[in-house]
Amino acid sequence: MNRQIINNLYEFWKQIGKLNNRLVETKKYSAVSMDSSDWPNRIFDLQKDNEVVEEIKALSKKNELPEIITLTKPYDINIDSDFDFMFRQKNMALNLDLVSKHTMQNSKIKRVRTETDSIYFAKTASESFGYLVDHNVILEIVKNSKNIRLYTYQEEIECLGCGIVFFDSRNIAGLHMIGTLPRGRGKGIGKSMTEYLLVEAKKNNIKTCVLHASLMGEPIYAKFGFKSFGEIETYRILK
């Protein structure tokens, strides 16, 4: 199951890279190299080979690859002083038989369909996660992808939350970018968005839902029934 969870994330990033003509894909690694967006600007799906690591570091230092790299644990490569640890995430999965298809839906959650919606989503995600999400990247997804669905949480005229569900080629749903603005926290927005996305996955006859949780988020998702299977770590390659 750990491999399936990771595959969902990597397939998600690859699809976004392809939609925006920003995917670099080799036999040794993959990368999405964005000019105007911090997301999903990174190297991933790395072959476990120290020579590959040296190649990637050299290319990153020449600005030919992103400086952010996500690694799957356990990894059999050298993590030296050129790598600055950023954060760790838990790979989690849920059997959707545990989710009722008839859970009450939230009228405040709106699907992203237009350029204006994309701007709201990007602004909310940027402020929620603390890195730049370009609305043009979001708009390409909205216009050209049928298996990536983006949502915002609207309270009156203000957008306070966001979330994505991605249906991968293995018939697994991945939850991504579930975030809430600081001024919206404590209102249960993240919980409402998670429930909404789980029901959307269930309605599409998906059996398994996966996500990547922060250490703080792990117990929250555990309450939904998600189980932990492994970890990924994200580093910055120092120039």
- Tell me the two tokens of residue 99: 């989710």
Domain ranges of the chain: 2-90, 93-230
Q: Tell me what percent of the residues of the chain surpass a pLDDT of 90.
A: 86
Q: Euclidean distance between the first and final Cα of the chain, in Å?
A: 35
Tell me the pTM.
Answer: 0.95
Is the confidence at residue 48, as pLDDT, over 90?
A: no
- How confident is the model at residue 75, as a pLDDT? 78
Going by C-alpha positions, the residue among 25, 23, 18 that lies closest to residue 33 is 23
The band of 106, judged by pLDDT with boundaries at 50, 70 and 90, is confident
Mean pLDDT score across all residues of the chain:
94
The amino acid present at 52, given as its one-letter code, is V
Fold topology of 93-230: Aminopeptidase (3.40.630)
Residues 56-83: pLDDT tens digits?
999 999 999 999 999 998 877 888 899 9
Is the confidence at residue 92, as pLDDT, over 90?
A: yes
